[in-house]
Amino acid sequence: MNDTGISGGIVAQPNDSQDNSVDDGDNRRWYVIHTYSGYENRVRQNLLHRIDAMEMQAHIFRVIVPTEETIEIKNGKRRTVQRKVLPGYVLVQMCLSDDAWYVVRHTPGVTSFVGVDGVPTPLAEAEVKAILRLMDQDAPKRLKVSYQVGERVTVTDGPFDSFEGTVSAIDHERGRVRVLVSFFGRDTTLELDFLQVTPGHSRPAGR
């Protein structure tokens, strides 16, 4: 399996003087492969099947689609969703060789390795750790909301329940939103939790 598409048929090895391995004591590195959009999980399954069928377990170790859990708040409801961190890419931990390159590159759905002049470039240790940290189940979850500054919303909880107002600011880190409401003819700014408002005119304004 020496048809790598690289001059000489030999896959260039990483520079040993640069330590970008997450694992000590061997030559395994993390590489990035590009896939057709929306095919990341299918490519992962295809590659895992090829690794088993071609007995490459000693050369290709892990295949992951980087994702993170995101808390999505929409219409006053909170739900946890999986979001792809790098859409269109899959990470592969492997010892780079002609055979390993061939197995990965010719997996259905794989369009290329990420690298320079056709030579796969390994990720730096800091990059790998940052991606794996995002995938940690115990990591703080990111908040995703559908509200926008200037949008009309209805308050659904607290002393201003059922009042309508306009979003004036959004604090994603704290999960808070500022809403400008009219109270006795005067504008009042409320700071509320994302779950205390809902978009549009779903409830009657005022009390």
How confident is the model at residue 37, as a pLDDT? Answer: 84
| CA separation for the pair 111, 121 (Å, rounded) | 15
Determine how many CB atoms are found less than 10 A away from the CB of residue 100: 22
pLDDT at 181 over 60: yes
Of the pLDDT bands very low, low, confident and very high (cuts 50, 70, 90), residue 131 is: confident
pLDDT (tens digit per residue) in 49-72: 999 999 999 999 999 999 877 777
| CA separation for the pair 93, 21 (Å, rounded) | 10
Most confident range, picked from 91-105, 171-185, 187-201: 91-105
Q: How far is CA 104 from CA 20, 131, 156, in A?
A: 21, 21, 52
Which domains, and CATH codes, for the chain? 7-143 (3.30.70.940), 147-199 (2.30.30.30)
| CA separation for the pair 199, 149 (Å, rounded) | 12
How confident is the model at residue 96, as a pLDDT? Answer: 95
How confident is the model at residue 142, as a pLDDT? Answer: 61
How confident is the model at residue 137, as a pLDDT? Answer: 61
